[in-house]
Amino acid sequence: MASTALPPTSLNPYQQTHEEKEQQYPVHYRGVKDLVDNGSRTLPQIYVKPPDERLVINSDQQQIPLIDLSELEGAGRSAKVEAIGRACRDWGFFLVKNHGVSESTMENEMRVGREFFHLPTEEKMRYFSTDHKSRMRYATSFNVKEDKTLNWRDFLRYSCKPLEEMVPLWPDKPTDFRKENSEYIRKIGDLASILLSAISESLGLPSEYINEVYGDYSQYMAYNFYPACPNPEQTLGLPGHSDPGGLTLLMQDDVGGLQVLHEDHWVVVRPVPNTLVINLGDQLQILSNDIYKSVEHRAVVNSNRERISVATAYGPSMSTLIAPAPQLVNSSSPAVYKGCVYGDFLDSLESGSLHKKSVLDCLKLDMS
């Protein structure tokens, strides 16, 4: 994910035949949809999570804030910026409506993703790679080679930049995948930049501060596909994690499964039609010098219905040094983190498994 170069030839998914991949990879590398399609009616042991990871502490009482963006430009701006700031500080997560991405653009983006995961496994395996640096890959779990227990998730993950270079590498089936993705990516990228201006302002920084720091920003898309699961209470679609990047903009279908850790409770993020879920990643926690947090979240699965979500990870360019904004550092609030180049941050994270805040902790300055 961190790389701007294509993976080395030996790992380049485009240069391996189906047979080579079959021989090279264990059967569970083919994904959970494939497992279900082949008649598996029980949960294989490798998907069973240790009890402490599954522990259910749900709160149905609370909801993440819902912010209407229709008045963000104009007289209502300062109130909206304040609401966004409060949501960032209190939750690290919020929903937005009237966000400028049209209903049809959202629906089409969902549809082509769903159609992709319903293609025969052989078709999806054309894009399979275990190389987390690959700019376009289909895979399963999180890091299937390293994960101690597997996650009940298949995914398709790809870079959007530079667009002209990336589009020909995206799946050619379904036939309108590339067209619909190009449309969605433009719209969601515009929204990300608008939200980052508001977030800058909410921190008391110049409106374009974060966008300027991000420079030639990075944008990755990830479709997450969670088939109905035989024993959902024993596994997870995605275990608790924080997102490493800047801002994540997530579209989820009407099934539900996303949970956010808030005051030691897993709060359910109920699907609300035509909204997007926005959350702050590690690079905003660092830049805001811990004023805003990159909050842990996870995806649970269920036994009735498959679920799909589409995450956009919008962040700094890989070569950008991310450090606390100097305006937010002073003698009463000293810098909490040392700076780190975003690409290096991702390298340390992705060579391991998807886990908590270890990389962030390494960047902590000694405050004693």
Q: What gap in Å lies between CA 269 and CA 299, rounded to an integer?
A: 10
Whichever of 143 and 207 has its CB closer to ligand OGA, that residue is: 143
Of the candidates 202, 252, 275, 283, which one interacts with ligand OGA according to CB under 6 A?
A: 252
Of the candidates 188, 222, 322, 325, which one interacts with ligand OGA according to CB under 6 A?
A: 222
Q: What is the 3-state secondary structure (H, E, C) of 202-230?
A: HCCCCCCHHHHHHCCCEEEEEEEEECCCC
Whichever of 200 and 224 has its CB closer to ligand OGA, that residue is: 224
From the list 33-41, 251-259, 320-328, 343-351, the region that binds ligand OGA by CB under 6 A is 251-259
From the list 169-177, 252-260, 327-335, 357-365, the region that binds ligand OGA by CB under 6 A is 252-260
Question: Is 243 an interacting residue with respect to ligand OGA (CB under 6 A)?
Answer: yes
Helix (H) or strand (E) holding 79: helix 77-90
First to last CA, the chain: 35
Helix (H) or strand (E) holding 36: helix 32-37
Question: Is 238 an interacting residue with respect to ligand OGA (CB under 6 A)?
Answer: yes
From the list 91-99, 114-122, 205-213, 249-257, the region that binds ligand OGA by CB under 6 A is 249-257
Integer-rounded Cα Rg, in Å, for the chain is 20
**Tokens, residue 176:** 């309108």
Name the pairing type of β-strands 136-140 and 258-262.
Answer: unpaired
Whichever of 87 and 205 has its CB closer to Ni ion, that residue is: 87
Of the candidates 109, 243, 282, 296, which one interacts with Ni ion according to CB under 5 A?
A: 243
Amino acid at 100: G
Closest CA to 302 of 272, 259, 264, 273: 259
Q: What gap in Å lies between CA 114 and CA 111, rounded to an integer?
A: 5
Of the candidates 224, 285, 294, 312, which one interacts with ligand OGA according to CB under 6 A?
A: 224
From the list 32-40, 145-153, 241-249, 320-328, the region that binds Ni ion by CB under 5 A is 241-249
Q: Of ligand OGA, Ni ion, none, which one sits near residue 33, judging by CB under 5 to 8 A according to partner kind?
A: none
Size of the site for ligand OGA (CB under 6 A): 12
Show the beta-strand stretches assigned E in the chain: 58-59, 66-68, 93-97, 136-140, 154-159, 218-226, 238-241, 247-252, 258-262, 265-268, 276-280, 297-299, 307-315, 321-322, 340-341
Least separation in angstroms between residue 226's CB and ligand OGA is 7
**Span 292-331, contacts to ligand OGA by CB under 6 A:** 297, 299, 309, 311
Question: Is 350 an interacting residue with respect to Ni ion (CB under 5 A)?
Answer: no
Footprint of ligand OGA (CB under 6 A): 222, 224, 238, 243, 250, 252, 257-258, 297, 299, 309, 311
Footprint of Ni ion (CB under 5 A): 243
